[in-house]
Amino acid sequence: MRAGSPRLLREINDRVAIEAMLAGGPLTRAELETLIGLSKPATAQLLARLESEGTVRRCGLRGGGRGPRAQLWRVNGALAHVAAVDLTPRTVDVAVADIAGAVLAEHRAPMPRGRGADVLSAFVAALDHAAAMASLTRADLRHVVVGSPGAVDPRTGRLGFAPHLPGWEGFDVPGRLRELLGGDHVDVVVENDVNLLAAEEMATGRAVDARDFVLLCLTPGVGSAVVINRTVLRGATGGAGEIDWMRVPDRADRDTGVDRRGARFGDLLGSAAVSRLAQAHGLPAGGGWAVLRRALATGPAGRPFLTDLARRVATGIAGVVSVVDPELVLLSVGVGEPGVRVLCDLVADELHRMVVPRTPVEPARAGAGAVRSGALRSALALARERVFGLPAVPPSVPR
């Protein structure tokens, strides 16, 4: 055996043990021994070493009944702290967690609106408040991941494709936030919100087993994420998947005054456009995508409207499906899975008339809070890579 190999093996075993405790929560020595395949003495030595380094802590006992109670061990969450943020034009939603994944504080605050609004100060104030709720300061945060509409150009740090997020244009967004939050000691990542939804779908949703898929999010606004080999495709300027701006023909049977030769995809599926389409079919207008529920409640009378809506959706994603040939298209509308499933079936029918791939269309599972959850997953992966040397999961962690 070469010199240095025992140390390397110890480091590998330490990382495996840490990963097991991060994934499974507090574990006993016997449970850890089974999971990592070490002998009882070797596992005991490993735990003693990690405890002396401050990496793990004792956290109570497990057991009961007639047998002895066993000591539980967990990762020391205080080794690092992270923040996850869901940023929208109206609100900022912050979660602060320790490196073990325990959420220590949650805080939602309104964002100032309009040109010239001091959005940066409001953002930092919300983050400071969340950190204080966790008995921390911004200086205690190792990584901050922000999910937002639009996309950051990796060459300039500027946020593009997000005119509905005023106050964030024209400067290096991650760089400015890093300066405001304390400089080089904190890592700030700004990630597209739909990309974070895609990461959640891969982790806990319908894309757990999918390698290549497209996620289309239709409210609020229109956005998509393209995942290839379980890695989010970002493009040269960060704009991969920004199909909101793509011009497509309106293939709906009913005329709503839209230029049939081509309109912005986001305009065709915006709240006002969907309401007008419903009205053209004799359904009550108003409420934007909530009209989908009303159309479903009307039974056969609502089917022509749903079919026209499906034609618009299918036309917008047909080009993406033709080029990528994904295993799956996921549709996120935000009106509950039963309604989305009906729309998915109609979109699939229309899509298969337009393209060669017979790609299934399914409802996305990621629900409320998924953007912040995806941001937290990414922030934890970055922190664990830095502190423990654990490999960050590519789809969840922007590079």
| 163, 149 Cβ separation under 8 angstroms | no
Query: Could you give the CA distance from residue 54 to residue 175 in angstroms, rounded to a whole number?
Result: 32
Non-local CB neighbours of 56 within 8 Å, separated by 6+ positions: 18, 21, 47, 50, 73, 74, 75, 76
CATH number of 5-75: 1.10.10.10
Give, as one character, the DSSP assignment of residue 16.
H
Estimate to the nearest angstrom the gap between the alpha carbon of 208 and the chain centroid.
14
pLDDT digits (tens, 9 = 90+) for 345-386: 999 999 999 999 999 999 999 878 999 999 999 999 999 999
| 96, 104 Cβ separation under 8 angstroms | yes
Buried b (16+ CB within 10 A) or exposed e, 305-321: bbbbbbbbbbbbbbebb
| 302, 296 Cβ separation under 8 angstroms | yes
Amino acid at 260: R
- What CATH class has 79-196+370-396? alpha beta
Domains 5-75 and 209-363 share a fold: no
| 161, 204 Cβ separation under 8 angstroms | no
pLDDT digits (tens, 9 = 90+) for 85-144: 999 999 999 999 999 999 999 999 999 987 767 999 999 999 999 999 999 999 999 999
Q: Where does residue 277 fall: left (phi above 0), alpha (psi -120 to 50 degrees), or beta otherwise?
A: alpha
Task: Inform me whether the pLDDT recorded for 250 exceeds 90.
Answer: yes
Would strands 91-98 and 81-87 be described as parallel, antiparallel, or unpaired?
antiparallel
| 209, 242 Cβ separation under 8 angstroms | no
Q: Coil, helix or strand for 184?
A: helix
Rounded average pLDDT over 48-56: 96
In 3D space, the residue among 144, 149, 154 whose CA is nearest the CA of residue 167 turns out to be 149
> Where exactly are the structural domains of the chain?
5-75, 79-196+370-396, 209-363
Task: Inform me whether the pLDDT recorded for 336 exceeds 70.
Answer: no
Query: Could you give the CA distance from residue 358 to residue 177 in angstroms, rounded to a whole number?
Result: 44
Domain made up of 209-363: CATH architecture:
2-Layer Sandwich (3.30)
Query: Could you give the CA distance from residue 262 to residue 266 in angstroms, rounded to a whole number?
Result: 12
